[in-house]
Amino acid sequence: MIRIHKSLAEIVGEQYVSNRKEELYIYSQDPGMMEPHEPDYVVMPKTAEEVQKIVKLANEEKIPIVPVGGSLSLSGLIIPHRGGIALDLKRMDRVLEVNEKSRYVVLEAGVTTGKLKAYLERNHPSLRFSIPDAPPSATVVGNIVIHGQGRLTQQYGFNSGMVTGLEVVLPTGEVCKIGSCSVGPYWFSVAPLPYLAGLFLGWFGTTGIITKLGLSLYPRKKMRDIEMFLVEDPNLVPDVIHRVTHTEMTEDIFIGAQPYPPVFKDIIMIGICITGDSEEELEFKRRMIWDAVRTHIDSREGGFMMLTPDIKLPLLEMPTTGTTRFADVMKGGGFEYCGPIIPVEKFPEAFKRLLELSSKYGITYGMTGRVIGRSHCMMFAFGYPFNRADPDNIETTKKALHDSNVASLDIGGVPWKPEVPAQKMVMERMDKNTLELMKRIKKLLDPNGIMNPGNWEAE
Ligand SMILES: Cc1cc2nc3c(=O)[nH]c(=O)nc-3n(C[C@H](O)[C@H](O)[C@H](O)COP(=O)(O)OP(=O)(O)OC[C@H]3O[C@@H](n4cnc5c(N)ncnc54)[C@H](O)[C@@H]3O)c2cc1C
């Protein structure tokens, strides 16, 4: 409508609102497999005040709003299922503050992981954050909204657990601060106050728009290295993880298996990253890790692989580009995964299910996993590369993804960043009172149901 377009242009400026066909097309999809749907307007605000005005307008006019970060979640969480405003936050891209001594950063919603990494390397080289392996155009806020995981997740838990404060525009237009920043000038922690951050994390933008984020930073050691432990028997993986995490010496532990190149078929790789400020520190950690899995080496059930520099360096890259490169194994550049969070002891069953589904549908697979916390749980990705130019291949992959979600729930896991159909599966199995609580919270915060409609929508 011309009237709405004009009002939006008055808020953000004519050049930052668009309803041109080519732009609506771009914002109708992400690189995953969900059906596209176009917004009516693409809007790019610069400040929280502009976001606030847009939300107030949308509320009066009952227009849906979908917050958009890097659009890389792959599960279609930014698809405007009911049209409305695609609110692209990438112009809000300032790193506002770094507190070196209390080790936190305050940033705006559009800051990308690539930008924050470069900013810290340049200005605060002793500090780092938990970088996910998503392409660097992913936003830090988009990642914490979906409970992302990064290179420090094995030590400190989900990236969303590293939030120290939030500024949020509520669906009714009020700007609200969460955590210590709501009481004083510092953004050091969301505790000891009631845990209101939970009203916005994992909700996929259905309860408000985060405009600022406080995030924990961690020491950046001078050196990093990786050891690669290989096993053939998936049943050994939980024990290896248990033993290695017991050392408390590791930065990151990831697990991978794929049938290409054929020399790696039937082998499960457990990548164990360590950091240190000196060669002695690294060597000490290496020895601890080797000792931890000595029994598996002695019994010849597993062993460490010699890593030449050309294998090692890409594995140490942050983000690693391995997943993106594997995406093109079928040509056509499609890649999608269902990555449930599962108890570590369920790894063998999840892996068995993945192989069964790959064989049932005659498609290839790429399994990746990441240990979360001191082996409290792990992300297990049922990953499938597919050919975007082949409609049959796309249909088959969709079925395999559906079955992977069912398998994840059957083994006791919870789908991570689930697409809308998988959200429904989760809600069907959810405790009824918990679901009712979610509905009440949603209704309270978003009485007109304008925020990212379609997501977390219970019947
Ligand atoms: C090759 C590849 C590798 C990946 N590896 C990882 C990995 O290692 N770890 C990992 O965690 N993820 C990974 N991902 C998944 C995903 O790309 C990342 O989690 C990414 O950080 C998501 O951020 P985004 O900016 O793209 O979010 P978007 O997709 O733009 O948004 C995600 C959700 O958050 C909402 N949202 C966005 N901004 C706001 C806001 N300001 N306020 C409220 N809601 C908001 C959106 O509406 C949407 O529901 C990977 C993806 C790819 C393609």
Q: Ligand 1: does its nearest atom lie under 6 Å from the Cβ of 34?
A: no
Q: Could you identify the atom of ligand 1 that is nearest to the CA of residue 72?
A: 26
Numbered ranges of CATH 3.40.462.40 in the chain: 223-410
For the entire predicted model, the pTM comes to 0.96
Query: What CATH number should be reported for the domain whose range is 95-219?
Result: 3.30.465.10
Q: CATH number of the domain at 223-410, out of 3.40.190.10, 3.40.462.40, 3.30.413.10, 3.10.560.10?
A: 3.40.462.40
Residue of 198, 243, 244, 260 whose CA lies nearest to 385 = 260
User: What is the pLDDT at residue 329?
Assistant: 66
Report d(CA 58, CA 56) in Å as an integer.
5
Query: Which alpha helices (DSSP H) does 276-376 contain, by range?
Result: 279-292, 294-298, 309-316, 322-326, 347-361
pLDDT in the model for residue 386: 86
Per-residue pLDDT tens digits for 128-179: 999 999 999 999 999 999 999 999 999 999 999 999 999 999 999 999 999 9
Q: Does ligand 1 have an atom closer than 6 angstroms to the CB of 153?
A: no
Read off the amino acid at residue 242. H
158-168 pLDDT tens trace: 999 999 999 99
Ligand 1 centroid distance, CA of 154 (Å): 19
Orientation of helix 420-429 relative to helix 391-410, angle to 10°? 20
User: Using one digit for the tens of pLDDT, what is the confidence trace for 352-378?
Assistant: 999 999 999 999 899 999 999 999 999
Check pocket membership of 59 for ligand 1, CB cut-off 6 A.
no
Residues in CB range of 254: below 8 A, 6 or more apart: 270, 271, 368, 369, 370, 371
The pLDDT tens digits of the residues spanning 248-288 come to 999 999 999 988 888 888 899 999 999 999 999 999 999 99
379 ligand 1 Cβ < 6 A = no
Q: Where in the chain do CATH 3.30.43.10 domains reside?
A: 2-88
Which ligand 1 atom is the nearest neighbour of the CA of 208?
A: 43
Ligand 1 binding pocket mutation candidate from 65, 141, 146, 255 (most atoms within 8 A of CB): 146
Closest residue by Cα to residue 324 from 119, 138, 117:
138
For residue 159, the CA-to-ligand 1 centroid distance in Å is 12
Q: Is the CB of 282 under 6 A from ligand 1?
A: no
- Which one, of 426, 278, 404, lies nearest residue 338 by Cα? 404
2-88: which CATH number, 3.90.870.10, 3.30.43.10, 3.40.50.300, 3.90.550.10?
3.30.43.10
Give yes or no for residue 149 CB within 6 A of ligand 1. Answer: yes
CA dist 239 and 241 (Å) reads 5
How far away, in angstroms, is 146 Cα from ligand 1 center?
6
120 ligand 1 Cβ < 6 A: no
User: Going by DSSP bridges, is the β-strand pair 41-43/85-88 parallel, antiparallel, or unpaired?
Assistant: parallel
